[in-house]
Structure 1
Amino acid sequence: MSRLDSMLRRLTAQRDGLNWAVAQISDIDGDVLDMGLGNGRTYDHLREIMPDRRIWVMDRVLQCHPSSTPPAQDFLQGEAEPMLRKLAAGGPKIVLAHYDFGRGIKEEDVAEAARLSPLIAQVMRPGGLLISGQPLVGFEQISGPDTIAPDRYLFYRA
């Protein structure tokens, strides 16, 4: 599979997974967390499909497209560990989290996701959903939408 085809497959899975998750959490109060702002495409999609929810965003630097810049009060800039601790200080409030940290080196990305998983658990409301391109630990893995290959995107319940 070409890198272009792989990217298209990943982005389609991400979009389909987020759309599916919104329907799953419709009756649970809470905020949303986008871990890894990047260019801001996922954040832009989240605010379109969940306009009434607060969407927290975290990344090391703010370098997204200008049209996808989150409000300053919702952007947690810095390394993941202190930002997750800061968010956790207010108690578990996240009902949907999207995990998209990584540098593209599989072994390092998997290790980072495992290391951050206990901190992510501290911000999640019971019954909340996590969607991730990397395996997370300590959560119940569930099946996502049928349109997504099981190895393409991972779905978890807190």
Structure 2
Amino acid sequence: MSRLDSMLRRLTAQRDGLNWAAGQISPLQGDVLDMGLGNGRTYDHLRETLSSRRIRVIDRLLQCHPSCVPPEQDFLQGEAKPMLERLAAEGRSIALAHYDFGFGIKEKDVAEAAILSPVIAQVMVPGGIIVSGQPLVGFEELDGPDGIPQGRYMFYRAG
């Protein structure tokens, strides 16, 4: 498979997974958390899809497209663990989280996701959904929507 086809498959899975997750959280109270703003495509999709919810964003740097800059009060700039701890100190309030942190080195990305999993759990409301590009630990794994290849995206429910 070409890198272009792989990218298209990943982005389609991401969009379909986020849309599915948005439907799953409809009865839950809570905000949305985008972990890894990047150029802002996912954030833009989330704010369009879940316009009635507050969307918090964590990233090391603000380097997204100008049309995708989150409000200052919703952007937590810095390393993931302290930013998640800050959210936890404010109280559990996340109904849907999207995990898209990564260094681009699979072993390092998987290790970081495992380390961050307990702190992510602290910010999630019971029953909240996490859509992740990396395997997380300590959550109930879900099948997610049909049509997404196994391992392409992972879906979890918080306890």
- Corresponding residue for residue 118 of structure 1: 118
Equivalent positions of 1:39-118 (< 5 A) are: 39-118=39-118
3-state SS of the aligned residue for 2:70? coil
RMSD of aligned residue pairs (Cα, Å): 0.5
Cα deviation, residue 144, structure 1: 0.4
Cα distance in 1 between the residues matched to 2:34 and 2:77: 12
3-state SS of the aligned residue for 1:147? coil
Cα distance in 1 between the residues matched to 2:109 and 2:5: 21
Q: Where does structure 1 lack aligned partners over 5 or more consecutive residues?
A: none
Cα distance in 2 between the residues matched to 1:124 and 1:29: 11
Scaled by the length of structure 1, the TM-score of the pair is: 0.99
1:83-119 CA-partner distances (Å, limit 9, x unpaired):
0000101111000000000011100000000000000
3-state SS of the aligned residue for 1:89? helix
- Corresponding residue for residue 148 of structure 1: 148
- Corresponding residue for residue 137 of structure 2: 137
Cα distance in 1 between the residues matched to 2:22 and 2:80: 24
3-state SS of the aligned residue for 1:19? helix
The size of the alignment, in residue pairs, is 158
Could you list the runs of 4 or more consecutive aligned residues of structure 1 that deviate by over 3 angstroms after TM superposition?
A: none
